[in-house]
């Protein structure tokens, strides 16, 4: 069953949970084999047992409380299984009307394109809330915004959940990444994780990934951090304009602390003999670049390209004239 399709496996796991939750008495593995669709009828007992044990382990790993008890079965003691509803079902969280209203606002403020629009309503109903009854002209609940979903997003969510190494092209370079977190930040989706090629944590904007994401097999060997690092947003990367490469020269006093504070800067930096550093930055927001350069006062110089250097000079001249 190693090559079975994931939808078939998900269906079998759901059926297994349903059978264990619905029964009034614990069920043995053989009884579950006959009741749960999805296990091949022609499989040997040993093959079924291995598949069943994997299914139990996966369900327990995600928090499904499958209990093992001993029962007398055909005059022999056998292991049987059950899921107690009081341990599995979500207890009433006791939300106040004000808290439910806040959840309703949060759940209906943004619509994720491509996902089931009834999901938020269904979740609110289960918590005791009510979905808005005042739809807008297009039939969607009033107040909804829209968040686009890149084609690579579902694959990366799966990779994070199943701890699967991914490979993709980003900025023209091939990356091999242990993904730890997918995040929506300032209008864009990012995946963060450990870049194996550079042996360092990195974040990648998904709309700058070219081509498909290659999904590896589940890999329990790469460590998953207890707290996955969030995307580190750099001010010169906030914009949506086509990125251009800028060169910023930091003197020896500024270079060391700047590179230590943000190791990602060192990836494309050139260290000079006197201790200074030449940073190569992909800039899509000129105002953010200005703020970065000026934060070092006279210890940083925007060297190239000429148009960005001229923009910085013009902005400073305008500042001086405005203060005169």
CA 297 to each of CA 103, 131, 268: distance values in angstroms, whole numbers, following the listed order? 45, 53, 22
Side-chain half-sphere exposure of 99, counting CA atoms within 13 A: 6
Close Cβ partners of 63 (under 8 Å, ≥ 6 residues apart) = none
> What is the residue extent of each domain of the chain?
6-88, 97-147, 153-233, 237-323
Closest Cα to residue 216, out of 182, 174, 166? 166
Which ranges constitute the DSSP H helices of the chain? 6-22, 29-35, 45-61, 85-88, 97-108, 118-127, 153-162, 252-261, 286-294, 306-323
Average confidence (pLDDT) over 61-71 = 87
Q: Give the mean pLDDT of the chain.
A: 78
Distance CA 214, CA 80 (A): 40
> Please, which pLDDT band fits residue 249 given cuts at 50, 70 and 90?
very high
Residue by residue, DSSP assigns 198-209 as TTEEEEEEGGGE
Q: Which fold has domain 153-233?
A: SH3 type barrels. (2.30.30)
Confirm or reject CATH 3.30.70 for domain 237-323, answering yes or no.
yes
Query: Is pLDDT at 175 greater than 50 in this prediction?
Result: yes
Closest Cα to residue 119, out of 107, 130, 133, 128? 107
Closest Cα to residue 152, out of 109, 208, 85, 111? 208
- DSSP-derived secondary structure letter, 141: B
Q: How far is CA 32 from the centre of its chain?
A: 35
Closest Cα to residue 218, out of 136, 177, 163? 163
The answer to whether 93 touches 31, Cβ cutoff 8 Å, is no
Q: Which fold has domain 6-88?
A: Arc Repressor Mutant, subunit A (1.10.10)
Average confidence (pLDDT) over 19-33 = 88
Query: Is pLDDT at 10 greater than 70 in this prediction?
Result: yes
H/E run at residue 216:
strand 209-218
Beta bridge partners of 277: 250, 271
Residue by residue, DSSP assigns 64-125 as --EEEEEEEETTEEEEEEEE-HHHHSPPP----HHHHHHHHHHHHSEEETTS-THHHHHHHH
Q: Cα(first)–Cα(last) distance of the chain, in Å?
A: 78
pLDDT for position 306 = 92
Distance CA 66, CA 56 (A): 7
Average confidence (pLDDT) over 225-254 = 76
pLDDT for position 5 = 55
Model confidence over 106-142: pLDDT tens digits? 666 656 655 555 555 666 666 666 555 444 444 445 4
Query: Is pLDDT at 194 greater than 80 in this prediction?
Result: yes
Query: Is pLDDT at 167 greater than 90 in this prediction?
Result: yes
pLDDT for position 168 = 93
Close Cβ partners of 42 (under 8 Å, ≥ 6 residues apart) = none
Q: How many CB atoms lie within 10 A of CB 50?
A: 14
> Please, which pLDDT band fits residue 150 given cuts at 50, 70 and 90?
confident
Q: How far is CA 321 from the centre of its chain?
A: 47
């Amino acid at each position: 069953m190693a090559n079975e399709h994931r939808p078939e496996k998900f269906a079998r796991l759901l059926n297994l949970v349903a059978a264990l939750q619905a029964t009034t008495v614990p069920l043995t593995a053989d009884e579950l084999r006959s009741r749960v669709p999805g296990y091949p009828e022609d499989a040997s007992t040993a093959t079924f047992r291995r598949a069943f044990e994997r299914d139990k382990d996966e369900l327990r790993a995600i928090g499904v409380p499958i209990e093992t008890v001993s029962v007398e079965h055909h005059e022999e003691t056998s292991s049987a299984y059950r899921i107690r509803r009081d341990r599995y079902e979500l207890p009433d969280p006791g939300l106040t009307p004000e808290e439910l209203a806040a959840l309703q606002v949060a759940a209906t403020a943004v619509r994720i394109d491509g996902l089931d629009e009834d999901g938020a309503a269904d979740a609110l109903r289960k918590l005791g809330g009510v979905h808005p009854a005042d739809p807008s002209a297009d039939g969607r609940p009033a107040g909804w915004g829209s968040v686009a979903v890149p084609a690579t997003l579902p694959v990366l969510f799966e990779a994070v959940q199943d701890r699967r190494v991914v490979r993709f092209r980003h900025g023209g370079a091939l990356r091999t990444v242990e993904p730890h977190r997918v995040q929506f930040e300032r209008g864009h989706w990012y995946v963060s994780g450990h870049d194996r090629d550079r042996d360092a944590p990195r974040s990648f904007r998904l709309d700058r990934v070219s081509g498909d994401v290659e999904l590896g097999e589940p890999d329990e060997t790469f460590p998953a951090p207890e707290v996955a690092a969030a995307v580190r947003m750099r001010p010169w990367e906030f914009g949506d304009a086509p990125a251009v490469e800028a060169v910023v020269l930091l003197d020896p006093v500024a270079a060391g602390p700047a590179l230590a504070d943000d190791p990602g800067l060192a990836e494309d930096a050139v260290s000079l003999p006197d201790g200074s550093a030449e940073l190569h930055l992909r800039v899509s927001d000129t105002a953010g670049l200005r703020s970065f350069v000026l934060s070092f006062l006279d210890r940083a110089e925007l060297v190239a390209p000429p148009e960005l250097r001229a923009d910085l000079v013009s902005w400073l001249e305008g500042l001086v004239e405005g203060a005169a």
